Amino acid sequence: MKKQTLSKINPNAPYIPGVDDYDLPAEIKFDLSKARRNPYATRVKFAHGGARTGAGRKPLAEPVERHTVTLLKSHTKFLRGLDRNLSSAIRKLIAKAR
């Protein structure tokens, strides 16, 4: 019985003639001084991707300021009944009072 030789790339894989006959260098030297820019890179027009028109968060009519408010537990429970977001619930009460 003929002993099967092993691959040079992966010692656990069997050697296949014609497929494993090439050798890659361990390291490829790259000279950055000889590099040049791709002249065609700016000509490419991408048909897909990017932001859709009108996508994203819409700006508010009035800028929002941050304030700290201390509330009783019963007041918080009442506001949560109006809206899960406390800021939105307070805005609803102010809009109703105007």
Domain residue extents for the chain = 69-98
Residue among 65, 97, 67, 63 nearest 82 (CA): 97
For 23-39, how does the pLDDT look when each residue is reduced to its tens digit (9 = 90+)?
Answer: 666 777 888 898 888 88
pTM: 0.41
For 37-95, how does the pLDDT look when each residue is reduced to its tens digit (9 = 90+)?
Answer: 888 888 877 777 777 888 888 888 888 899 999 999 999 999 999 999 999 999 999 99
DSSP 14: B
Answer positive or negative: Cα dihedral of 11, 13, 14, 18: negative
